[in-house]
Amino acid sequence: MISAEGFVHGNERARAELLHSTYPREWFDPLMADRYLRRGAYVIEQGTFDWETYLGPRYIPSGPPSSIPNAWQREDELFVPFRHSDGHILGLFSVGDPVSGRRLSNEELDVLVAVTLQAAVLVEAAQTNAAWERSQNGLAELLAVSGRLLEPGSVQDVLDRVCAGVRSALGFDKVQIQLHDPVTATYRCSASLGWPDGDRAVTTSTTDADLARLLDPEFEVDGCYLLSHDAGAARCSQASIGYLSQYNGAGPNAWNRHWLAVPMHDRDGHVIGTIWADDPHDRLLPSTEILQALRVFANQATAALDSAGRFEEMRFLAEHDPLTRLYNRRAFNDRLRVEATRARRYGTPFALVVLDVNGFKRINDRHGHLAGDAALARVADLLNNQLRAPDAAFRIGGDEFALVLTEIELGEVTPVVRRIAAHLADVSTAEGHAVSASFGVAVFGGTIKDEETLLRSADAAMYAAKRSGEDVHLAA
C-alpha cells in the first residue's frame, strides 16, 4: 500500500486531488514496466499508456498543450521509486509540471534519481530510528507492566493489566484473553479491551479443537502463532469466529484480517489460556520484537495468574473447608454472630440446623478414606444445591455440618429439612454408599436469645434425633 498522506507539494488543486490518496502496490506494476524505465526513473509520456481504463486518483494540469520543443505534456507521468537497503520499495516520487515546461533531460533524470537514492537512505534511517524508539518505549512499558503483574491482586486484576499492557506497549487496539473452561471444553473471554460489553467478539468462545488446529507449528513465530485470514478461517469453525479485523492494509507486510494468538502454558505444558491481539495501530504485521514482547507478556501473565490463583485460594481457604469447599467453622461462628445481631435488632427470625452423617464410619472402614472423603463432598454439594441464595452451609467438624436458614419461622423449617434428608437418602443409595443424616433444628427467639444457646440447642436436638432414629428433631 502506497499513500500520499501528507506528502503532496504543488498548487491547491493538486493537493486537493492527491492528498490522502491511497494506492495498492499492484496499481504501479503496469506503470513500472521496463519499456518506461529510463536511467532509473519511469517516464510515461502522453499517449503511451491508456489511462481511460486505469482507475485511480490523478492530477492533470489545466491549460492548453505546449508547443515548445520537447514540452512537458498534460498527461505525462514521471515516477522514481526509492528503496530500502534490502530492496523493497519504501515509496515513490511522482513529479510533474516542471518549471521549465520541458520534459527532463538525461542529466536532470540522473539528478532526480540521485536525490531519490539519498531520500531512501534518510527515510530508512528515520524508520529505523522510529522503530528503535518504539522498541525502547515498548520495553519500558513492558517492564512497568511486568512489575505491576507481580503486585498482589485478584486473577481479574492480572488479566486486565495484561490487556492494558499489550494495548499500550505493543500498539494493538483490540486485546482479549480467553481462559480454558474444562467443563465446556472451550476457551472463554475473561478480559478484553477495545470491544464494547456484549460484543460478539467477547461472547464467542474458541473450542479446544479449533485452537489446537490454529496452534499449528507451521505458523509459530517466537512462541506466537500468526496466521493469514484464509489459513485461520480454514482451521476454525464458524462457531469460534467472532471478529474480523478493522485496521487492515494491503501488501506483503500489511496486517489484513490476520490471526495472532499467544498461548499461555501451565507448568505441565498445558494451554490454560490464550492472548489474542488484533487491529495493530500501524496496520502492519508485527515485527520480531513485538512478537517476542508478546511472548514475554504471556509468560509473565501465566506466572502472575499462578501467583494470584494461589493468593485467592489462600484467601478462600481462610473461610472455607478445603475438602468440601463449604464455609468452615471460623466462617460459621462469624455468620452466627451476624445473624444473631440482626435478629435482635430487627426481630427477623432465623434457624440453625446441625446435621451429622450416619454411616460415615462404615464407609471409611469398608471402602477407605478416599471413599469417605468423596461421600462428604457429595453431601456438601447436595446441601449447597438445596439451599436458597440467602442461606449458607458449613462444615463444622469431621462429618458434622450446619445450615443457617434466614428469615424463616419454626413451622417452615421442618419441611425444608425433611426434603434435604430425603434427597440425601435417594442420592446416596443410587451411588451405592447409603448414608443418611440426623438433623437438629433450633430457631433464634423466645428463650434462645444468643448464638451460643442457639448452637447448644441445635446440637442437643441433633443427638436426640440420632438416639431416637428420627430424621429431624426440633429443639424444645
Of 214, 185, 182, 175, the residue nearest 298 (C-alpha): 175
- Hey, what domains does the chain have and what are their CATH numbers? 2-127 (3.30.450), 150-315 (3.30.450.40), 329-474 (3.30.70.270)
pLDDT level of residue 211 (50, 70, 90 thresholds): very high
What local confidence, expressed as pLDDT, does residue 425 receive?
Answer: 74
> What mean pLDDT comes out for the span 421-449?
78
pLDDT of residue 136: 65
Q: Hey, how many other C-beta atoms are within 10 angstroms of the C-beta on 429?
A: 12
Distance separating alpha carbons of residues 42 and 59, to the nearest angstrom: 17
Q: Which residues contact 366 (CB under 8 A, 6 or more apart)?
A: none
**Cell numbers of 225, please?**
502463532
pLDDT in tens, 24-78: 667 777 888 899 999 988 998 888 888 776 656 666 776 677 778 888 888 888 8
Q: What amino acid is encoded at 225 in this protein?
A: Y
Nearest to 393 by CA among 441, 458, 328: 328
Whether residue 291 has pLDDT greater than 60: yes
Choice among 179-188, 389-398, 428-437, 440-449 with the minimum mean pLDDT: 428-437
What's the pLDDT at 314? 63
Per-residue pLDDT at 69:
84
Residue 146 has pLDDT above 80, yes or no: no
pTM (two decimals): 0.53
- In 3D, which of 212, 226, 224 has the Cα closest to residue 295? 224
What pLDDT, on the 0 to 100 scale, is given for residue 112? 86
Mean pLDDT (the chain) is 82
pLDDT of residue 160: 87
3-state SS, 286-310, equals CCHHHHHHHHHHHHHHHHHHHHHHH
Q: How do beta strands 77-83 and 89-95 pair?
A: antiparallel
**Contact yes or no for 296/142 (Cβ under 8 A):** yes
pLDDT band at 309 (very low <50, low <70, confident <90, very high): low
Tens-place pLDDT, residues 348-402:
889 999 998 887 777 776 777 787 788 888 888 888 888 888 999 999 988 899 9
Q: Given this model, what pLDDT does residue 5 score?
A: 43
The proportion of the chain whose per-residue pLDDT surpasses 90, expressed as a percent, equals 27
Instruction: Give dist(CA 239, CA 216) in Å, integer.
Output: 19
Q: Which has the minimum average pLDDT: 149-153, 257-261, 393-397? A: 149-153
For every residue of 219-275, DSSP letters joined together read GEETTEEEE-HHHHHHHS-GGG-----SS---STTB--S-EEEEEEE-TTS-EEEEE
pLDDT (tens digit per residue) in 218-240: 999 999 999 999 999 999 887 77
Greater pLDDT, 21 or 7 = 21
For the segment 418-431, what is each residue's pLDDT rounded down to a tens digit? 888 888 877 665 45
- pLDDT at position 337: 92
HEC string of 107-128?
Answer: HHHHHHHHHHHHHHHHHHHHHH
End-to-end CA distance of the chain: 87
* 329-352 average pLDDT score: 91
Amino acid in position 369: H
Copy the grid coordinates of residue 102. Answer: 520541458
